[in-house]
Amino acid sequence: MTSPQKPLPDVNDRHRAPFWAAAREHQLKMQKCTACGYVRWPATQHCPECLDENDNWVALSGKGKVWSFGIYNHLFNAAFADDMPYDVALIQLDEGPQMYSNVVGIDPDLLVPDMRVEAVFEDVTPEVTLVKFRPAS
């Protein structure tokens, strides 16, 4: 019997493909509005601040802090059995956007709000690289 596979993101989504392409290169990039400078995630057609449609994809530092988190001790999806317990954290990036991810390289019981973190990249398949975070060094 084979283990179930974890769900993977759609790396070809028209708004988010540049994010996933950058992740494959172990870079964190997000949209920046060319009209007002707002850096946003998730990627969208219009800037949520000024509604302009023009943007550039810019490299971010990958640094931030844990804004909030939850620790999963109950298995909801058999594909995550080897990860138990695991965390889902809301990361406040230094450049402004927030994104959900996991903090790896630490016992989830040691996570605390405002913990400084930095991006790391998990190559899952040749097409999919996930952005995760670890405690900042």
Residues 67 and 130 in one domain: yes
User: What pLDDT does 137 receive?
Assistant: 87
Tens digit of each residue's pLDDT (9 = 90 or more) over 71-128: 999 999 999 999 999 999 999 999 999 999 999 999 999 999 999 999 999 999 999 9
Residues 118 and 102 in one domain: yes
Asked if residue 7 belongs to a domain, the reply is no
The beta strand positions in the chain, using DSSP E, are 29-33, 39-40, 55-59, 63-72, 86-93, 98-101, 116-123, 129-135
**pLDDT average, residue stretch 56-84:** 96
User: What pLDDT does 3 receive?
Assistant: 62
User: What pLDDT does 131 receive?
Assistant: 98
Please say if the pLDDT value at position 42 is more than 60: yes
CB-CB contact of 60 with 29 (8 Å): yes
Residues 76 and 105 in one domain: yes
The total number of structural domains that make up the chain: 2
Residues 55 and 67 in one domain: no
Residues 125 and 92 in one domain: yes
Residues 98 and 123 in one domain: yes
Residues 32 and 98 in one domain: no
Asked if residue 27 belongs to a domain, the reply is yes
Tell me the residue range of the domain where 19 lies.
Answer: 12-60
Asked if residue 1 belongs to a domain, the reply is no
Tens digit of each residue's pLDDT (9 = 90 or more) over 2-28: 667 999 999 999 999 999 999 999 999
**Residue at which a domain ends, from 24, 45, 60:** 60
Residues 44 and 111 in one domain: no
User: What pLDDT does 44 receive?
Assistant: 94
Residues 35 and 54 in one domain: yes
Main-chain phi, psi angles of 100, to 5 degrees: -85, 140
Residues 71 and 113 in one domain: yes
User: What pLDDT does 76 receive?
Assistant: 93
Residues 75 and 118 in one domain: yes
Name the residue among 87, 85, 89 with its Cα closest to residue 74. 85
